[in-house]
Chains A and B, each alone.
Chain A
Amino acid sequence: MDRPQTTKPRPSPVARRPSSGFLNAIGAIVWKDLAAELRSRELLSAMLVFALLVILIFNFALELDPLTRRVATPGILWATFAFAGTLGLNRSMAVEKDRGCLDGLLLAPVDRSAIYFGKTISNLAFMLIVEVVVLPVYSVLYNTNLFNPGLIVVILLGSVGYVAVGTLLSSLAVQTRTRDVLLPILLFPVVIPILIAAVKASSGFLQGLALTEVMPYINLLIVYDVIFTAVAYMVFDYVVEE
């Protein structure tokens, strides 16, 4: 390409290997989300407050004597995570949509799926942070020991699946008129296998059941996670391209 005479200093070329560009882009998106959130703390505080309120409401909604409490704990925890999760998902996508930043991401010379993975990882991070806070608080409020490595694994697997589908569906929802209201409606029916498996597996670990009894549910979680991450990855282009 010919350029007229200029005194512009030619900066270093932009070229880089495509594969590292992909990982780099994912890293950049995750860093961007975490840095922005660290500064404003809007998303996390909203999620945390909401989660704690939900637990509080459950306390009054269900008369929990110590025995019932033991049985109901996994259900209450996962209901809390599911509801607080939608807040985070909504907010995370809304940030991109409102200032047109989604276009900014789409203009980058990387595969679209980098956007999906980047957002999913940061959404996962936010969810895990909320869960990490909720667990000790719940333990104290209800005098239950939730420090259980099996439980941690279940929470991790369940959150991954939830966020994998949630990020895809929030990308859909944020581009419609009904936006925030639509995400839970779209998400909850589709995420039920996770809730079932996570609640039963959590319950199994907390009650100290044998691993063989809990494994089917762990397997279900893993299968769900893998299938839906793959599906979301394949389908994400259709959701963001015009």
Chain B
Amino acid sequence: MKPQPIALKVLNVVSVLLFLAALSMVFLYAPLEATMNYVQKIFYFHIANAWVGMLGFIAAAVAGVVYLVRHDQKWDIVELAAVEISLVFFLIAILAGSIWARPTWGAYWTWEPRLTTAAILEMVYIAYLLLRQGIDDPDRRARFSAVYTLVGAISVPITFLSIRLFRTIHPVVIGTNSAASQGGFDMTSKMLATMFFALFTFSIIFANLFWHRIRLGQLAQQVEQLKLEEIQ
């Protein structure tokens, strides 16, 4: 088992430190928002998590295409890692959003475009994982996963646009069209700084987790290899 490279160990430490720094920025540095008070602070994490989710989504789509072109198994590992991370982070983002929504709009959920699309994306990811579970042959599993990733990657943005279209012609029933319900509010420069720092922190955390997950995938592959050599 290859030990963690120095760079990864450094990254581990950096991620933790940055996260603590971000936490302190959120609670100590950023001012309290006028109407929403402490509840608004979850916003920073909501955005950062959704951002990481997006990174994962794009990484998965790219990895899928590269796999189909190159047939190199390592891109399959990358794709799976990206999907798993994206799944978890979008889930956290949705939950954070719900926690924010309750006191703000009186409901845990609204059917607004971004939220609905995120939910649909989660379904696509779960379908992806179920698909992988149903295939034993690694080559076929990788090929089929890449195909489905491609289909999902194209379909989800179209879904987002469709729901937006749906909503502009028929306005949102729950919540008003004010800036507050669209998730916007006036941000002071301190808030902006905090938000960008949170985004940066979570990007680093994404890279860290991504690296770890890919290593895990490679280790799993090595185990499979050893098992087969035992049999043969």
Chain B residues near A46: list those with CB within 8 A: none
Task: Decide: B154 and A231 in contact? CB cutoff 8 A.
Answer: yes
Known: A186-B131, A186-B148. A193 touches B143 (CB 8 A): no
Residue of A nearest to B121 (CB): A189
Per-residue CB contact flags for chain B residues 75-106 toward chain A (1 = under 8 Å, else 0) read 00000000000000000000000000000000
Task: Decide: A235 and B127 in contact? CB cutoff 8 A.
Answer: no
The stretch from B5-13, B19-27, B163-171 touching chain A is B163-171
Chain B residues near A238: list those with CB within 8 A: 68, 143, 146-147
> How long is the Cα–Cα vector from A168 to B158 in the complex, in angstroms?
18
Per-residue CB contact flags for chain B residues 144-160 toward chain A (1 = under 8 Å, else 0) read 10111011101100110
> How long is the Cα–Cα vector from A168 to B166 in the complex, in angstroms?
27
> How long is the Cα–Cα vector from A217 to B159 in the complex, in angstroms?
12
A-B contact count (CB 8 A): 95
B120 CB within 8 Å of chain A? yes
Known: A192-B159, A220-B165. A177 touches B151 (CB 8 A): no
Known: A172-B148, A213-B169, A217-B165. A189 touches B120 (CB 8 A): yes
Q: What's the interface size class on B, roughly?
A: 20 to 34
The majority secondary structure among interface residues of chain B is: helix
Residue of B nearest to A186 (CB): B127
Pick 10 A–B contacts, CB within 8 A, sort by A: A178-B130, A186-B127, A186-B131, A189-B120, A190-B151, A191-B155, A193-B161, A217-B165, A228-B155, A235-B150
> How long is the Cα–Cα vector from A175 to B135 in the complex, in angstroms?
8
Per-residue CB contact flags for chain B residues 185-198 toward chain A (1 = under 8 Å, else 0) read 00000000000000
A216 CB within 8 Å of chain B? yes
